[in-house]
Amino acid sequence: MLNANLSTDELVNAALHRQEGELSANKAFAVKTGMRTGRSPKDRFIVLDDVTRDAVDWGTVNQAISMDKFTQLWHKVSAYLETREHFQSRLQVGADDSYSVVVTVTTEHAWQNLFTYNLFIREVTSETVHQWQLLSAPNFHADPNVDGTHSEAAVIINFTERKVLVCGTHYAGEMKKAMFSVLNFLLPDEDVLPMHCAANSGKQGDVGLFFGLSGTGKTTLSADPERLLIGDDEHGWSSQGVFNFEGGCYAKCIDLKADKEPVIWNAIRYGSIMENVVLDPHSKQPCYEDDSFTQNTRAAYPREHIELRVKENRAGHPSSVLFLTCDLFGVLPPVAELTLEQAAYYFLSGYTALVGSTEMGSTDGIQTTFSTCFGAPFFPRPAAVYAELLMKRVAETNAKVYLVNTGWTGGSYNAQGKRFAIPVTRAIVSSILNNNVHHADKKIMPGFNFLIPKALPGIDAHLLDPIQSWTNQDAFQVAQKKLIQLFQNNFTKFDVSSEIMAAGPVS
């Protein structure tokens, strides 16, 4: 039986009736996603055909599958859903009608339909020719020997037929990221830079972008009580400005506290979905500090749950672009101002750490990584396509680009270092957004050769130059040399101009 275009109340009631989860004390709908509590990169495919053959950067991230295998599996999943109660919504991805897609989402579970109802844009205003279909059947298991998959789970994008197929996984983030990948492929042809970033706006319309992997601070730092949120994860930057791809937010919940992240705390209420958050068995209060299911606990809620938001879901050009990096070495400064070429270098590098990774198979809770464009799993085209668009937009708008370390200082992870406290990082971000960093007296940091401020209001000066925060200066030099070598080794895979190559660190 098909249930089409249900409201939030109807979807919550259906999910309760079907015993797909339970209401928490805060009235959010709490679900468990079973063995898959994050994305499964090894199970993601793109159909290889004339549209994608020469346009996709094929490899371990963008894996190919044949049209025949896709068609076979699509028919099987469609037939499977037809024999069961299922749910359907017609939604939009992209808040700028000129660059959006419309997607009909069909899900096996009511709660997964509510997830997309929260995360995508509910009101379809676009007349785009890009009409997509998305099927999600968590309880349908693919057969690798027959279907050409690697396991019982699969996420497959078909750009020619405009279809996305998700099966064998209950983790709803696969649907969100699949549609993100769709726009990441389509928009460069429209001269639009797709970005894995959060965005907010000051009361005067000054826009800030926050690039970074999950756990490095995108959602936390963009949810600022003093600023208006545009979105927390996925945006496009056109010649006219910035626009959100989504209609909601997908926030990490681990260690969530009302005093430190009040915007997110208050947004998680009736109509929201909580994935893998442990509930107290008696009070049903969320135990946000409990990671017994996973570090990657999540909440999906609509933008309407955030009072301080940009109603139009889009804004003008950014004045500040922040690359959030969680440095485990404790070597990078809390803030550095980058040149245009340095911006391209660190954008392509995407250096950070996997913090409570969103990916299956990550057994270590935190580890160093280089994720191109701060979101390598979601960008189908060669990295240079996105880097060139970033440089074009920054040059056109004179936006200032900053590297912001939300990781360790005073020493390395698992050594003598400590992670920057959220209030310190918030103060750094405020200094960026109000132009204090840009106008501050600066010096060149040896090795990395970018500019760091000598002093900022309300911030201990010794934190601004990382070597000063280490008690063992020799240990700092060893750590810095090791990190620089990692940067240099990683960057050998890129074919870029000599100016961008020279913008990297030197030992």
- Which residues are part of the catalytic machinery? 39, 177, 196, 214, 218-219, 233, 298
Return the residue matching tokens 């109509």.
271
42: which DSSP letter? G
Burial pattern 275-306, b for ≥16 Cβ within 10 A else e, equals bbbbbeeeeeebebeebeebbbbbbbbbbebb
Number of neighbours of residue 241 by Cβ within 10 angstroms: 16
Cα(475)–Cα(484) distance, integer angstroms: 14
* Residue 23 · residue 30 · CB < 8 Å: yes
Number of neighbours of residue 474 by Cβ within 10 angstroms: 8
Which helix (DSSP H) or strand (DSSP E) does residue 231 occupy?
strand 228-231
HSE-CB for 129 with a 13 A CA cutoff: 3
HSE-CB for 286 with a 13 A CA cutoff: 31
- What phi and psi values does residue 418 have, to the nearest 5 degrees? -130, 145
Which helix (DSSP H) or strand (DSSP E) does residue 188 occupy?
none
**258's tokens:** 């009302």
Strand segments (E) across 312-429: 314-315, 318-325, 336-338, 351-355, 366-370, 400-405, 408-409, 418-419
